[in-house]
A and B are shown apart, each in its own frame.
Chain A
Amino acid sequence: MNPMRMLAAFWRLNLAEELQYRANFVASVLGTVFYMATALLTLALFFRHTTALGGWDYWEIVVLLGVFNALTGVIEAVLRPGIGQLAGEVRSGELDLVLVKPVDPQAFVSFRRLDIWRFADVVLGLALAAYALHRLHRVPSLAQVATFGLTLAAAAVVVYAIWVALMSLAFWFVSVENIAVLFDAVYEGARYPVSAYPGALRFLFVYLIPIAWTTTIPASALTGRLRPGSALLAAVVAGVVFALARVLWRTALKRYTGASG
Chain B
Amino acid sequence: MSWTRRYGALIRNAWLIDLQYRASIVLWMLWGVTEPTIALGIWWAIAGDGRIGGYARADFARYFFAVMLVNQLTIAWDSWYLDRWIREGELNFRLARPLHPAHEAVADNIAYKARTASVILVVWLIAAAAWPAVRLPLAPGRWAVTAVAVLLAAAMRFFISFTTGLLAFWTTRATAIMELHAGVSLFLAGRIAPLSLLPPAVAGVAGVLWFRYMLAFPVELLTGAVYGSDAVLRGLAGQIVWLGVWIAAYRVVWTRGIRKYGAVGG
Contacts and interface: CB of A to CB of B under 8 A. Distances in A.
Contacts, number: 81
Contacts of A178: 24, 27-28
A201 B41 CA distance: 7
Contact of B34 (A42, A179, A186, A198): A186
Nearest to A178: B24
Contact of A175 (B23, B42, B179): B23
Given A54-B45, A197-B45, A182 B27 contact: yes
Interface range, A side: 20 to 34
B254 interface: no
B93 interface: no
Secondary structure at chain A's binding surface: helix, strand, loop or mixed? Answer: helix
B31 A181 contact: yes
B52 interface: yes
A155 to B, nearest CB: 19
Contacts of A175: 20-24
Interface in B1-24: 20-24
Contacts of A27: 173, 176
A92 to B, nearest CB: 15
Given A181-B27, A197-B45, A45 B38 contact: no
A191 B42 CA distance: 11
Nearest to A181: B27
A34 B186 contact: no
Secondary structure at chain B's binding surface: helix, strand, loop or mixed? Answer: helix
B208 interface: no
Given A48-B197, A175-B20, A188-B35, A196 B45 contact: yes
A189 interface: yes
B24 A45 contact: no
Contacts of B150: none
Interface in B173-220: 173, 176, 179-180, 183, 186-187, 192-193, 197-199
Interface string A45-57: 1101110011000
A173 interface: yes
A22 to B, nearest CB: 14
B42 A35 contact: no
A178 B24 CA distance: 6
Interface in B103-128: none
Contacts of B199: 48
B44 interface: yes
Interface in A7-62: 27, 31, 34-35, 38, 41-42, 45-46, 48-50, 53-54
Interface string B38-50: 1001111110000
A41 B23 contact: no
Interface of B: 20-24, 27-28, 30-31, 33-35, 37-38, 41-46, 52-53, 173, 176, 179-180, 183, 186-187, 192-193, 197-199
5 contacts: A42-B186, A42-B192, A49-B52, A176-B23, A196-B42
